[in-house]
Amino acid sequence: MCGVVGLVGFNPVNLALYDALTVLQHRGQDAAGIITLDGDNFRQRKANGLVRDVFEQKHMRRLRGNIGIGHVRYPTAGSSSAAEAQPFYVNSPYGIALAHNGNLTNSRELKALCERVRRHVNTTSDSECLLNIFAWQLSKFDVARPGPEEIFAAVRGVNHEIKGAYAVVALIIGAGLVAFRDPLGIRPLVLGSRIDENGKREYMVASESVALDVGGFKLERDVLPGEAIFITKEGELFSSICAENPKLQPCLFEYVYFARPDSIMNGVSVYAARVRMGTKLAHQIQRDYKDLDIDVVIPIPETSCDIAVQIARILGKPYRQGFVKNRYIGRTFIMPGQKQRKKSVRNKLNPIPAEFAGKKVLLVDDSIVRGTTSEQIVDMAHEAGAKAVYFASAAPEIRYPNVYGIDMPTARELIAYGRDKTEICKQIHADALIYQSLEDLENAVREENPALTEFETSVFSGHYITPGIDEEYFAYLDKQRSDDAKADKAWNESSEDLELYNI
């Protein structure tokens, strides 16, 4: 999962892009990058690290221009080396820079296509493939400067060639900013605008509406599935549906975990959806778990706090903050490598013994993925003196890998894979385990926007909504995304660095 932002203004955009990336930091902590368009030249800064560490004052001064795009990244199938930080750039045609959130499921075929049309891909990133396919489509038009007709035709060509999930922002020298979303709207993308001090309208596109808020932009709408938006460097906006049979099926897990609660995506308040998740989970506990003698409800901060408050209110039980979170530790779910995740849990959370001692505790979390975090937190609760520890998940069992841009590992690394609820409960050392049903989770989101008739739910249901997801693909994915594979990549990259610098 990554975060993207693009801005077309009439004043320098470097600070606004920086601020937007800062509030999108939760979507990726591996690398960050910004490219601005200064006349006919790109100005770029990207590197591994958090936004605040990547961009120093000297870098911000160099990022001149009134148009720009930005990206925060965490690695999925690709490498985590600095060379794969986004945005990417190609010089032909025109000069194009691009940033991408999502995952292309036919990246192997796309790399072969790039070779056939003589486009060079320098990294393992599917985003660089996407950039080269877009550049190839644009190169078919013999025009000095592409306009809406050429750009929308190029996006239609891209949609014809690529499969998977994608929300894209791109800059074209001499033209302006392009943004487009996959035909199923799996990955989020919103459009906003503001009026500057001279009465001119400026535009921003971003992964979440919170990026608009911090810059004083008003949320206009979501970018539609299959839609492309072109904003000229003069600030004129054009849009077109560039895919056949587009249909909105957004990723359900965005609302469970990834998105910030103050964001609105696909017409849904993330906060309100999470409150409803708590309501439905509480009703399930009242109905099916009457025998649990719960003394206190404690969230595992922070995504589950809104859910836990609602559960406590409905159950009539005290709500307590039983864990103190170290806010300077990243999100353990998106950390690369099992050893790092295990170490980070204890560094990230510390229990308050008085809230656990002698009590039967209901712990509430947004989900259980690998089980590593859940097991350690349950153990911490027991060590803090809890008499019993019950565990409630706002999401159903995650049994299947994600292929659309979320780094949920191969099936064998998921705790729910091949286990029933009793076995999972024993594995995480809990005294009882409660999962939200998929129907209730869908309804919790849908009740905010009844137009959302379907969702992308593959991690729960095993149903993949794009073609070509079969056993052969999963075998390939296993080689790319398992913890062992990532450890090998990290070693190879560090070895390359040692050779490069003769260390």
Count Cβ atoms below 10 Å from residue 129 Cβ, excluding itself. Answer: 27
Give which of 377, 381, 379 is closest to 360, Cα–Cα.
Answer: 381
Distance (Å, rounded) from C-alpha 309 to C-alpha 329?
24
Contacts 24+ apart (CB under 8 A), 414-417: 414/369, 414/370, 415/368, 415/369, 415/370, 415/371, 415/374, 416/368
DSSP per position, 398-427: --S---SS-----GGGSTTTT--HHHHHHH
Distance (Å, rounded) from C-alpha 348 to C-alpha 198?
46
Report the catalytic residues.
Answer: 2
Q: Which amino acid would we find at residue 93? A: P
Q: Is 478 annotated as a binding-site member?
A: no
Distance (Å, rounded) from C-alpha 218 to C-alpha 221?
9
Is the separation of the CB atoms in 459 and 400 below 8 Å? yes
Q: Is 295 annotated as a binding-site member?
A: no
Q: Which amino acid would we find at residue 352? A: I
Three-state SS string over 425-448 comes to HHHCCCCEEEECCHHHHHHHHHCC
Q: Is 38 annotated as a binding-site member?
A: no
Is the separation of the CB atoms in 20 and 71 below 8 Å? no
Going through 86-175 in order, the beta strands assigned E by DSSP cover: 88-90, 96-104, 164-172
Distance (Å, rounded) from C-alpha 414 to C-alpha 364?
19
Give which of 279, 268, 192, 256 is closest to 8, Cα–Cα.
Answer: 192
Tell me how far the alpha carbon of residue 101 is from its chain's centroid.
Answer: 7
Number of residues that make up the chain = 503
Residues belonging to the binding site are: 303, 365-366
Residues belonging to the binding site for Mg(2+) are: 303, 365-366
